[in-house]
Amino acid sequence: MIAKPDSGRSTPYWRSNLRLVGILLAIWALVTFLPAYYALSFSDFTFLEWPFPFWAAAFGAPSAFLILVGVYAWKMECVDQQRRAAQAAEN
């Protein structure tokens, strides 16, 4: 099925999707760049004989990325259910 061309107006569904993506991208940027920026100040702290920035990079950032993907999937599922319910109510 071919989608109809957009009339130039954004729908509430698309606005909520863009807002969520923007928030999650901001969190992603913080998780990615803040530990690298402050790595030298945390280099004195060790955990299991490895410096803390190593652990933040090796386990913290990928775990945070997976959580962000899960939050996006969960939230968009909620939004999709609301949209389906609204469309069913219209019909």
Range of the domain at 56: 12-90
83 lies in some domain: yes
**DSSP assignment, residue 47?**
E
Summarised one tens digit per residue, pLDDT across range 42-77 is 667 777 777 777 777 778 888 889 999 999 999 999
Does the global pTM surpass 0.75? no
32 lies in some domain: yes
**DSSP assignment, residue 3?**
P
3 lies in some domain: no
3-state secondary structure of 46: strand
Region of 50 (left: φ > 0; alpha: ψ -120 to 50; beta: rest) is beta
Number of domains in the chain: 1
Average pLDDT of the segment spanning 8-27: 86
6 lies in some domain: no
CA quadruple 72, 57, 37, 49: dihedral sign: positive
